[in-house]
Amino acid sequence: EPEVTQTPSHQVTQMGQEVILRCVPISNHLYFYWYRQILGQKVEFLVSFYNNEISEKSEIFDDQFSVERPDGSNFTLKIRSTKLEDSAMYFCAEEDYGYTFGSGTRLTVV
Amino acid sequence: GIQVEQSPPDLILQEGANSTLRCNFSDSVNNLQWFHQNPWGQLINLFYIPSGTKQNGRLSATTVATERYSLLYISSSQTTDSGVYFCAVHSGGYQKVTFGTGTKLQVIP
């Protein structure tokens, strides 16, 4: 079964550094999403992306965050200046009669 | 926004036992999904079930949208069923889903 691939699987970064998380969707789906899960907590919506534009974003998705689809296939989430509280598991997802989530990137900010 | 509550929050089962997990939501929904988060953190889609009943092997799910709840049944549980089970709902005109609080299941041999 096709998978949504995320890289890296784990990233450790220093506070204040920029990180880019990458996602390769299966293909040709209209909606893409980023979610995050702080350890031990529930999964939270960050942003939805439709037709190469942000269609919806949460309060968490402030000016430090951005999303892009730089080459029409890969899908990135950038955090410009990481904070300790950005430490979480980040998931991308796509939708086609239900969500398919990527394997996640565990981000640790130290 | 919509509230999604799951019960019980924690559950310990002996291998082979059956269980029912519940998801209550505070408003009407367009659809509902159940996910299993395994011990490695991966989210696996179990069911896409806006209404009615579906079965997949030892798992089945029922959603009664008019009464704002969904149930996930696990029969003959196995240790590989351990993890956290989330329901997630689409509501209103939004494409995002709102996740429930989760049920952490531990199946012991």
CATH number of the CATH domain containing B33? 2.60.40.10
CATH number of the CATH domain containing A45? 2.60.40.10
Residue B35 has pLDDT above 80, yes or no: yes
pLDDT at position A27 is 67
Question: What DSSP assignment string belongs to B56-91?
Answer: ETTEEEEEEGGGTEEEEEE-S--GGG-EEEEEEEE-
Domain with A75, as residue range(s), is 5-101
pLDDT tens readout for residues A12-64: 999 999 999 999 887 666 788 999 999 988 899 999 988 778 999 999 999 99
CA distances from B104 to A103, B3, B56, B100 (A): 19, 19, 20, 12
Query: Are the beta carbons of B43 and A104 separated by less than 8 Å?
Result: yes
Residues B70-99: what's their mean pLDDT? 92
pLDDT tens readout for residues A86-96: 999 999 998 87
How many domains are there within chain B? 1
Asked if residues A56 and A71 have their Cβ atoms less than 8 Å apart, the reply is no
Distance from CA of B39 to the nearest CA of A (A): 12
Query: Are the beta carbons of B45 and A98 separated by less than 8 Å?
Result: yes
- Determine which of A39, A45, A46, A100 to mutate to test the interface with B (most B C-beta atoms within 10 Å): A45
How many domains are there within chain A? 1
Residue A18: inside a domain, yes or no?
yes
Kindly report the average pLDDT of chain A as a whole number: 90
Residues A3-9: what's their mean pLDDT? 90
Residue A1 has pLDDT above 60, yes or no: no
- Determine which of B5, B38, B89, B97 to mutate to test the interface with A (most A C-beta atoms within 10 Å): B97
Which residue in the set B31, B43, B95 is minimally distant from A101, CB to CB? B43
